[in-house]
Amino acid sequence: MKLIESIEEMQSIAAAARQAGKTIVLVPTMGYLHAGHASLLTEGRKRADILVASIFVNPTQFGAGEDFNTYPRDLERDMRIAEAAGVDYIFAPKASDMYPAGYQTYVNVEELTLPLCGASRPGHFRGVTTVVAKLFNIVMPHLALFGKKDFQQLTVIRRMAADLNMGVQIVGMPIVREADGLAMSSRNAYLSQAERESALCLSRALHSVQDVYRSAERSVETLRKLALGIINAEPSAAIDYVEFYHEATLTEVEQADDHTLVALAVRIGKTRLIDNCVLGEE
């Protein structure tokens, strides 16, 4: 496995690989890798000749007052996890190379970025699509893997790749959970022991909504009340949103069906966590 920090070097490795007829898969990450990332890397390893993992805490997707400075970072540990998963290249550019003085080009996906995290975190998706477009231009992957925990992000990136004819296949991978149900996230590192317990209200709420949906309840009003009740019972939980959307269009629905995305964002103490499920899926 090789660590590459230079954009030019990564680009010339990718160009040479393509020239030699090799396929490239990219797993974009912000590092502090966990089992969710490892599942993307393991899948990526199977899908192409060359597996690239990018590690870059992207400043443009953090708003003022968000956790850019405190976002957990541990490149050495990440390298061990990546190596064990069979990564060929870690691409870890410097922010000053990705966004040099004079930088002024951004990619913006419109409607899909308005609700949910786009409403709570203005500018967030503009930063995500911009950096992912740049990573695609640098690593030149044939396909790229993203976790479904960031469901809206995956939807937005699919739209961008299609709209801008990027020629990159976007693959969404299932959420990986701890044994007790908590969705894996680098931000779980912020939680105290007590907050870690409280954070289970997200997966518990999704689980209950799915159970009641399976017993034939279709009213979103009823399902939402159920989720709100479970989360609000946790004193340290503050709801950002509990939404029922169509999984493809990200527009609100009143009657639930197998394509309904249940999306949650909840603050546990100072930590903002997201989780989701699609009612028709396991």
Catalytic residue among 37, 124, 246, 259: 37
Are 146 and 154 within 8 A, CB to CB?
Answer: yes
Find the shortest distance in angstroms from Cβ 275 to ligand PAF: 14
Minimum CB distance to ligand PAF smaller for 191 or for 274:
274
Find the shortest distance in angstroms from Cβ 37 to ligand PAF: 8
- Residue 207 annotated to the active site: no
Are 146 and 176 within 8 A, CB to CB?
Answer: no
Minimum CB distance to ligand PAF smaller for 58 or for 198:
58
Find the shortest distance in angstroms from Cβ 254 to ligand PAF: 30
| Interacting residues toward ligand PAF by CB under 6 A | 28-30, 58, 61, 128, 131-132, 150, 153
d(CA 12, CA 80): 25
Q: Write out the H or E segment, with its range, that includes residue 90.
A: strand 89-91
Find the shortest distance in angstroms from Cβ 228 to ligand PAF: 27
d(CA 279, CA 12): 44
Minimum CB distance to ligand PAF smaller for 58 or for 113:
58
Are 168 and 136 within 8 A, CB to CB?
Answer: yes
d(CA 164, CA 137): 12
Minimum CB distance to ligand PAF smaller for 61 or for 210:
61
Q: How far apart, in Å, do the first and last CA atoms of the chain sit? A: 35
Find the shortest distance in angstroms from Cβ 222 to ligand PAF: 32
Minimum CB distance to ligand PAF smaller for 91 or for 244:
91
Question: How big is the chain, counted in residues?
Answer: 282
| Beta carbons within 10 angstroms of residue 205's beta carbon | 29
Tokens of 130: 């911009």
Are 182 and 266 within 8 A, CB to CB?
Answer: no
Cα–Cα distance list, 176 to 35, 89, 170, 277 (Å) = 7, 24, 18, 12
User: Which residues are annotated as catalytic?
Assistant: 37
